[in-house]
Amino acid sequence: MLRRKAGDIEGLAEFLREGKLKDNRSDPIGGGAFGVVYESDTPGNVMKQGVDGGFDNDFVEEANLQSVAADMGFAPRVAGIERFAGGIGDRLEMEDVRGNFEPVPSIQGLYPADPMFNVRSAQQLGQLALKGVRLDDRKADNMMRNKMTGRPMQLDFGIASRVTAEDQVMALADATEDGFRAAGIGDVGDIFRDTVYDLINGGQVAEAMDVAKQGFSRLQKIKQPAGKFVSAKTILAEQALAEFT
Ligand SMILES: Nc1ncnc2c1ncn2[C@@H]1O[C@H](COP(=O)(O)OP(=O)(O)OP(=O)(O)O)[C@@H](O)[C@H]1O
Ligand SMILES: [Mg+2]
């Protein structure tokens, strides 16, 4: 009679799982120079894994930063991290968001084409900055878009960091400036950014944060790009017309 120890059965399960993941990895969902994303053996999840010989991804830090955004509802929930000797083959497992989210149309495969998508993304990055996280590398393929509402979902926290003091102010100011530009009021963005950076350079970090927060709260109110706003000129023209009628 064939008898197996518990350890053997665990070993077999592990072997089968690794085989399944290897199969899935050979048919990836996405990824490029540094990483590959493929379906997990757990349905509804995906795995992100560093490419062999690529950058040394620190998935612990990446997962921590992503979790801050996931808690605010605009990054995939992290399911776990698996680490291996020497960091080779480390994996970050997270929620597969393809059910509700789709790729973002971009200009020349780089930045998202829809201005309002960029405004909403900047609003999210500002919220992250207020939580002490700076998220960079916002190319279209590092984001997805809700199929129903167009709401951005932020992917790829590989180029992100914890920020405090003036670095946090700059993260908030940069996101806000980008948002103003996307909204079609880049001139306001320039003045705003110069003001914040001047205060930082003068050592007035608290005042700089105050201005940055005021600018960001203005950005938070934008619901559509400036092209669709009623301009002051239009209002004056309407008032002038009203006097004739
Ligand atoms: N949680 C997810 N659910 C569904 N698809 C995802 C998810 N995360 C990533 N993807 C897909 O995988 C692609 C690559 O993801 P990500 O940018 O995080 O990997 P990467 O390792 O940084 O690749 P690269 O360095 O080339 O940008 C995304 O563009 C997206 O299509
Ligand atoms: Mg990426």
Q: Is 141 in the pocket of ligand 1 (CB under 6 A)?
A: yes
Mutation probe of ligand 1 site: the residue of 27, 29, 37 with most atoms within 8 A of C-beta: 37
Q: How many angstroms is it from 152 CA to the middle of ligand 1?
A: 14
Examine the pLDDT at 65 and tell me if it is beyond 90: yes
Question: What are the tokens at 219?
Answer: 């950005």
Q: Which atom of ligand 1 is nearest to the CA of 35?
A: 21
**Please, are residues 176 and 219 in contact by the beta-carbon 8 Å criterion?**
yes
In this predicted model, what pLDDT tens digit does every residue of 173-199 receive, in sequence order?
999 999 999 999 999 999 999 999 999
| Stretch 208-213: mean pLDDT | 98
Which CATH number is 115-223 given?
A: 1.10.510
**What is the C-alpha end-to-end distance of the chain, expressed in Å?**
102
Examine the pLDDT at 147 and tell me if it is beyond 60: yes
pLDDT confidence of residue 89 = 87
Which one-letter amino acid corresponds to residue 180?
F
Confidence of residue 6 (pLDDT cuts 50, 70, 90): confident
| Stretch 18-47: mean pLDDT | 94
Q: Is 156 in the pocket of ligand 1 (CB under 6 A)?
A: yes
pTM, two decimal places: 0.89
pLDDT confidence of residue 238 = 62
Question: Domain spanning 26-95: which CATH class is it, in words?
Answer: alpha beta
Q: Which atom of ligand 1 is nearest to the CA of 28?
A: 12
Where are the domains positioned within the chain?
26-95, 115-223
Confidence of residue 235 (pLDDT cuts 50, 70, 90): low
Q: How many angstroms is it from 142 CA to the middle of ligand 2?
A: 5
Examine the pLDDT at 17 and tell me if it is beyond 80: yes
Q: Is 46 in the pocket of ligand 1 (CB under 6 A)?
A: yes
21 torsion bin: left (phi>0), alpha (psi -120 to 50), beta (else): alpha
| Stretch 28-48: mean pLDDT | 93
CA separation for the pair 133, 72 (Å, rounded):
12
